Amino acid sequence: MTNALLPTGFRDRLPPEADASARLVRAVLDTVAGYGYERVQPPLAEFEVSLTGALGTSSRDLLRFVDPVSGETMAVRSDITGQIGRIARGRMGHHPRPIRLSYGGPVVKLRAGQLRPEREMMQVGAELIGLDSVPAVTEIVTVAIEALKAAGVRDMTLDLTLPDLIDTLLPGMDSTALKDRLDAKDTAAVPKEFRPLIAATGAYAEAAARLRSFDTAGRLSTRLDALDALVAALPADVRVTLDPTERHGFEYQSWFGFSLFSDHTAGEIARGGSYRLGEEPAIGFSAYIDPLIDAGLAQGERRRLFLPLGTLPQKAAKLRAEGWVTVAALGPEDTAQAQICTHILSNGRPVPID
């Protein structure tokens, strides 16, 4: 078994990375709990129809199998947001709105993405069900930023988008080809009148001004006013950019979407936006812990104290209360070095090991 292989996209998290993962999840969830978001814990797998039903999402990214008990098709979740939607509409449908829910757990994708090779990831986030107003948007984005800061993330960039931009500009029309060309940022293939949308990308103030200049009919004024209000409420140390035509990963979002990046991590570390649960508005965010672990966040100082044979339990308990991780010798052959300890108890006090 020493050479046993894991499926492509799966891996073991060993110490200290597994400890870091737990600390990061806890940091995010503790932060959102302070804003009134109560934790729910949906199952890792459920019937396929219920995983896709709340948000109307596709099942193409789901790892599916037949339940031997019911004979129905089940799937392992690839995103927890839809499960929160199912809970909010079902078992918590009678709760007064808005309701604030948080979650954390692993998700599994059928295939790895182009930017991330993992198929199993740790997802943690929060959803506000019942509103997608400017105050609700501001709260979710603020909570996401504060939660990531609590996890140790610094030098963040917030990238804003308008997922239903083209549908707003061309209501009732088949705009699939235009959306695809805008997605590809293919200026030459985009009709001339829509090329300013590609140019309206970059630092928020300048990009928003270009988008307002394009919007001569005022169809986007309400959305742009909302973005202005959001940006004005954000911490000064967060850079803000705008890419109004970005739709990748925002397939079920409605008028607003955002991504968070850090100078110290590879790729996107969080994503969120507004969406609909049937006729009900909602907004939320999801953070992905794995890039933060890869960046070395929450590794923490290893303070492992070796307790030689004969150490009194009362002494060990006192040391743990002081914040030490104690590793007790279980036999005369045990050594501090073998147990990867940083200190050893000598003459009643911790002594660093050279």
Whether residue 194 is found in the same domain as residue 214: yes
Of 239, 263, 278, the position where a domain reaches its end is 239
Whether residue 129 is found in the same domain as residue 171: no
Interacting residues of 263 by C-beta distance below 8 A, sequence separation 6+: 154, 155, 157
Kindly indicate the confidence band of residue 111, based on its pLDDT and cuts at 50, 70 and 90.
Answer: confident
For every residue of 74-124, DSSP letters joined together read: EEE-S-SHHHHHHHHHTTTTTSPSSEEEEEEEEEE-SS--SS---SEEEEE
**pTM of the predicted model, to two decimals?**
0.91
Mean pLDDT throughout 285-313? 90
Of 221, 239, 257, the position where a domain reaches its end is 239
Check pLDDT > 70 for residue 251. Answer: yes
Whether residue 1 is found in the same domain as residue 149: yes
List, for residues 18-28, the tens digit of each pLDDT value: 999 999 999 99
Whether residue 219 is found in the same domain as residue 339: no
Check pLDDT > 60 for residue 113. Answer: yes
Coil, helix or strand for 211? helix
List, for residues 143-195, the tens digit of each pLDDT value: 999 999 999 999 999 999 999 999 999 998 888 889 888 888 888 888 899 99
Whether residue 234 is found in the same domain as residue 266: no
Whether residue 208 is found in the same domain as residue 235: yes
The predicted structure's pLDDT at residue 183: 84
- The token duo for 56 is 């109307």
The boundaries of the domain holding residue 196 are: 164-239
The chain-wide mean pLDDT, for the chain, equals 93
Nearest to 316 by CA among 348, 342, 347, 340: 348
Whether residue 1 is found in the same domain as residue 54: yes
Number of domains in the chain: 3
Whether residue 308 is found in the same domain as residue 294: no
Whether residue 277 is found in the same domain as residue 157: yes
Whether residue 112 is found in the same domain as residue 261: yes
Check pLDDT > 90 for residue 135. Answer: yes
Whether residue 204 is found in the same domain as residue 123: no
Kindly indicate the confidence band of residue 39, based on its pLDDT and cuts at 50, 70 and 90.
Answer: very high
Whether residue 276 is found in the same domain as residue 156: yes
Identify the H or E element spanning 154.
none
Task: Give the distance from CA 333 to its chain's centroid.
Answer: 45
